[in-house]
Amino acid sequence: MDAQFRFENLLVYQQAVALSNRVFTITSKWPPQLRFSLGDQLNRAALSISLNIAEGSSRTGKDFQHFLSIARGSCYECIPIITIARDQKLIAQKAYEEMKQIIFELSKMLTALRSSLTK
């Protein structure tokens, strides 16, 4: 049997990990000068979402809410980065729209989870 942490069962966590994997794949193909600046920033912002969900789940309800807010902030941080990447022709318009939709949905899920903890 594979031991699991409770946060691993959260759909928002699973989607955040999927986003990070997608981002890592995309940025690994960028030119070195942009991979190590813009790409690294996008990688860190995307990764921060799942990391904050995981770490926050080990805390009290109020602290978990705070970590979920930080994760949501990381979603927001991804948006200008993918916009610049699109403008610099590092990602196609379609990929930009798909990523933006995924990030938007993650943000909504984080807000809903955070709200559920206040009840």
CATH classification at residue 87: 1.20.1440.60
Question: pLDDT at position 28, please?
Answer: 95
Parent domain of 71: 31-116
DSSP class of residue 39 equals I
Rounded to the nearest integer, the mean pLDDT of the chain is 95
Write out the two tokens for 29: 């193909």
Query: pLDDT tens-digit profile of 39-92?
Result: 999 999 999 999 999 999 999 889 999 999 999 999 999 999 999 999 999 999
Domain for residue 14, yes or no? Answer: no
Q: Domain tally for the chain?
A: 1
Domain for residue 19, yes or no? Answer: no
Handedness of CA 112, 46, 20, 88 (dihedral sign): positive
- Does 36 score more than 90 pLDDT? no
Token pair 């979402």 in the structure block, residue: 49
Write out the two tokens for 57: 């789940």
Domain for residue 17, yes or no? Answer: no
Domain for residue 26, yes or no? Answer: no
Rounded distance between C-alpha atoms, residue 27 and residue 37, angstroms = 10
At 1, the pLDDT band (50, 70, 90 cuts) reads: low
Write out the two tokens for 108: 């909504």
Domain for residue 67, yes or no? Answer: yes
The predicted model scores a pTM of 0.93
Rounded distance between C-alpha atoms, residue 101 and residue 95, angstroms = 10
Domain for residue 37, yes or no? Answer: yes
Domain for residue 20, yes or no? Answer: no
Rounded distance between C-alpha atoms, residue 34 and residue 82, angstroms = 12
Q: Report the pLDDT averaged over residues 11-35.
A: 95
Q: What percent of the chain has pLDDT over 70?
A: 98
Q: Report the pLDDT averaged over residues 20-37.
A: 93
Domain for residue 99, yes or no? Answer: yes
Write out the two tokens for 109: 């899920």
